[in-house]
Amino acid sequence: MRNFTKIILLLVLTGINQTVCGQAMEATNRLNLRGPVPPVDTQYGKYKSYELILELSPGLENSYNIKKVPFSAEKFTSNFFISGLKKTNDGDFKIKYNLTRFELVNDEDYLETYYQKAPAYYIGLESNLEISDKSGKVIYKRYTTPKVCMYVTNPTETYERLSYKIVNDNFNAMIAEFEGFYLYGPAISNLKYVDIEKKKKSKSKFNTDEFNTSVQVLPNLVDVDRENWLDLFGEAQNYWKEFVAFQDKEDEDLAKKVRFTANYNLVATNILLGQIDEANKYMPGVKENEKSFLGMRTDYPYLTTVIEEIDRYKKITEKASTIEAIQAEPVLASYKKSATAFRYAEFDGEVLNVDSEVFKGKVRIISDFPELVDLRTEQTVSGLRSMMDGIGSEKSSVRIYVEGEKKPKKTNLKKVVNIKDNEGRMYIVGKAGRGVPLVSVGAAVDKVETNTKRYSLFEEVKKGAKVSLYHEFFPQDDYSLKKPTQDEFFTPPVFLGRRKALKEYFSDCPKMIESIDKGVYDFENKETYIKMYDDYTEFCGNS
């Protein structure tokens, strides 16, 4: 038997007992690892673990009571993980996720319980995330301001799984910049390793125990410093190369499994080492030997996607020089602090509609058509997803309760020009966000389609002849730019793709491009947007 000294030593050092399963079928194990692209900031590159502290809003459990399903906070905790890091009670990183508010809106007359014959739920949440290093120093903070969405699901989806996904997606969205800046990437969550076993009737003399020992290096990588991976993989890779064209007349099915696994392991380990050209050498062997069902394969397409994603991730992150590590706590509009934040905004003011009519009174803007998040699979959409582009908060109802009148005046945001509150603040109505494509694109297997196209209320911050700056009041609270020649308000991505979007928007101003390339506008806060506006005005004229 081959002596895999480094692998056996690894198993001893990490306290893992090597076992070989005696079942009739191969034991397949999924791995959660991180890709080879180095972090922008390498100071935490050797951190291997994290502690997760989860604080869940009572509103979450209350939503379970409404749906009459049992609630378990422990299940939520177990549902959270970070690829490539080990979850422990005393981890290198300490991650605190606080779901401050969560509400299942279930008692308003505007609710649509079905959308295109699929179940729909109106759910709002507010949260924050804080990460500390080993010394206890807070190194990262993020906030999600109060926001309600309409979630459309498959008919077979349970509320329990839906709520897990909503909270988990929120956690992942807030931690994404941290992962992209401080951790190796991208996250690779579906690589696998396989213990090969013979069928009882097999006459093959192939040494499955020896082969299975060689793959034990893979499940323990999170305990090994990345700089040691090359040396660690070397012995196993040389062994696997002996089997990429393996033949065994005594058991041809087994031989094909061995060839597939050897090629797969060489592709996977070379991907993790960042040796993409070397990985590509063994991709044909994976494709040729993978067992297919009705001509369909899963592993070869997945590995192809991982390689493409690494290239895309590398191009994007190499342009990110900095992030706003500690986000300032957002200043919320008063309605977002109220108990009805996920239902409507309400204040005293006056409304000017497109017919030049003015109505004074208590103005209520209802969240009856919030951002729509489509969680249906392609099989259940039935070709109707493209219709989502026509659905959005342009239909958000507006009610003006005029003193002395029994019934409120009714309209919607699309028919409103502006609204002025009793303190003199003016909010104009405009288009923001984007729609969704008919067909999902991108590397993510579980890509979620979100229709963020909406009519919003904006407060003017600074007005220019070519570009103006606005702050969104309803339904969200983004900062946006607006050119008089364009209908929609513009908000760039927060992190990945931000510079590219900004350079396209300010393509008429070479000095702005220089500042964008230097990372001057990388942060997502009020100060950055004001500087962006002021710099554009100084560099290229805006009066």
Claim to verify: residue 113 and residue 130 sit in the same structural domain: yes
Instruction: Identify whether 37 is part of a domain.
Output: no
Please report which confidence band the pLDDT of residue 543 belongs to, taking 50, 70 and 90 as the band edges.
Answer: confident
Domain hosting residue 164, numbered range: 42-183
**From 290-304, 314-328, 343-357, the region with the lowest mean pLDDT:** 314-328
Claim to verify: residue 95 and residue 141 sit in the same structural domain: yes
Claim to verify: residue 502 and residue 406 sit in the same structural domain: no
Instruction: Identify whether 328 is part of a domain.
Output: no
Instruction: Identify whether 343 is part of a domain.
Output: yes
Q: What is the pLDDT at residue 493?
A: 82
Claim to verify: residue 446 and residue 513 sit in the same structural domain: no
- Pick the last residue of a domain from 157, 183, 209: 183
**From 6-10, 11-15, 47-51, the region with the lowest mean pLDDT:** 11-15
Claim to verify: residue 227 and residue 153 sit in the same structural domain: no
Strand partners, 374: 152, 449
Claim to verify: residue 53 and residue 129 sit in the same structural domain: yes
Residue 389: pLDDT over 60: no
Claim to verify: residue 290 and residue 400 sit in the same structural domain: no
Residue 139: pLDDT over 90: yes
- Measured at the CA of 365, the angle between CA 362 and CA 368, to 5 degrees, comes to 145
Claim to verify: residue 203 and residue 133 sit in the same structural domain: no
Q: What is the pLDDT at residue 321?
A: 63
Please report which confidence band the pLDDT of residue 442 belongs to, taking 50, 70 and 90 as the band edges.
Answer: very low
Residue 334: pLDDT over 80: yes
Which H helix or E strand runs over 389?
Answer: none
Residue 12: pLDDT over 50: no
Instruction: Identify whether 325 is part of a domain.
Output: no
Q: What is the pLDDT at residue 28?
A: 58
Claim to verify: residue 446 and residue 496 sit in the same structural domain: no
Q: What is the pLDDT at residue 153?
A: 94
The single residue listed with the structure tokens 């990490």 is: 14
- Pick the last residue of a domain from 141, 162, 183: 183
Decide: 301 and 307 in contact? Cβ < 8 Å: no
Please report which confidence band the pLDDT of residue 128 belongs to, taking 50, 70 and 90 as the band edges.
Answer: very high
Instruction: Name the domain count of the chain.
Output: 4
Claim to verify: residue 144 and residue 198 sit in the same structural domain: no
Q: What is the mean pLDDT of residues 153-177?
A: 93
pLDDT > 70 fraction of the chain, expressed in percent and rounded: 87
What is the phi/psi pair of residue 143, to 5°? -130, 145
**From 245-259, 276-290, 433-447, the region with the lowest mean pLDDT:** 433-447
How far apart, in Å, are the Cα atoms of 349 and each of 37, 403, 469?
53, 12, 23
Residue 519: pLDDT over 80: yes
Decide: 7 and 214 in contact? Cβ < 8 Å: yes
More confident residue, 441 or 424: 424
Per-residue burial over 198-236, b if 16 or more Cβ lie within 10 Å, else e, is: beeeeebebebeebbbbbbbbbbbbebebeebeebbebb
Give the SS3 label for residue 540.
Answer: helix
Instruction: Identify whether 17 is part of a domain.
Output: yes
Q: Are strands 185-195 and 371-374 parallel, antiparallel or unpaired?
A: unpaired
Claim to verify: residue 338 and residue 477 sit in the same structural domain: yes
pLDDT in tens, 23-34: 333 545 888 899
Instruction: Identify whether 370 is part of a domain.
Output: yes
C-alpha dihedral sign at 299, 223, 178, 99: positive
Residue 373: pLDDT over 80: yes
Please report which confidence band the pLDDT of residue 369 belongs to, taking 50, 70 and 90 as the band edges.
Answer: confident
Alpha carbon of residue 186 to chain centroid: 12
Rounded to the nearest integer, the mean pLDDT of the chain is 86
Q: Are strands 358-366 and 397-401 parallel, antiparallel or unpaired?
A: antiparallel
Q: What is the mean pLDDT of residues 433-442?
A: 39
What is the phi/psi pair of residue 219, to 5°? -70, -5
What is the rounded CA–CA span in Å between residue 476 and residue 479? 10
Predicted TM-score of the model (pTM): 0.82
What is the rounded CA–CA span in Å between residue 210 and residue 119? 51
CATH number at residue 83: 3.30.160
pLDDT in tens, 190-201: 888 888 888 989
Please report which confidence band the pLDDT of residue 386 belongs to, taking 50, 70 and 90 as the band edges.
Answer: very low
Decide: 327 and 528 in contact? Cβ < 8 Å: no
- The DSSP letter of residue 358 is E
Decide: 148 and 367 in contact? Cβ < 8 Å: yes
More confident residue, 391 or 254: 254
What is the phi/psi pair of residue 95, to 5°? -115, 120
What is the rounded CA–CA span in Å between residue 323 and residue 179? 11
List, as one string, the DSSP characters of 169-235.
HHHHHHHHHHHHHHS-EEEEEEEEEEE----TT------HHHHHHHGGGGGGGGGS-GGGHHHHHHH
Per-residue burial over 261-289, b if 16 or more Cβ lie within 10 Å, else e, is: bbbbbbbbbbbbbbbbeebeebbebbbeb
Q: Are strands 114-115 and 118-132 parallel, antiparallel or unpaired?
A: antiparallel
Please report which confidence band the pLDDT of residue 448 belongs to, taking 50, 70 and 90 as the band edges.
Answer: low
Instruction: Identify whether 263 is part of a domain.
Output: yes
Claim to verify: residue 101 and residue 150 sit in the same structural domain: yes
Instruction: Identify whether 324 is part of a domain.
Output: no
Strand partners, 296: 293
- Pick the last residue of a domain from 148, 183, 218: 183
The token pair at 213 is: 């020992």
Q: What is the pLDDT at residue 390?
A: 46
Q: What is the mean pLDDT of residues 203-218?
A: 90
Q: What is the pLDDT at residue 381?
A: 56
**From 48-62, 94-108, 451-465, the region with the lowest mean pLDDT:** 451-465
Please report which confidence band the pLDDT of residue 434 belongs to, taking 50, 70 and 90 as the band edges.
Answer: low
The single residue listed with the structure tokens 């191969």 is: 26
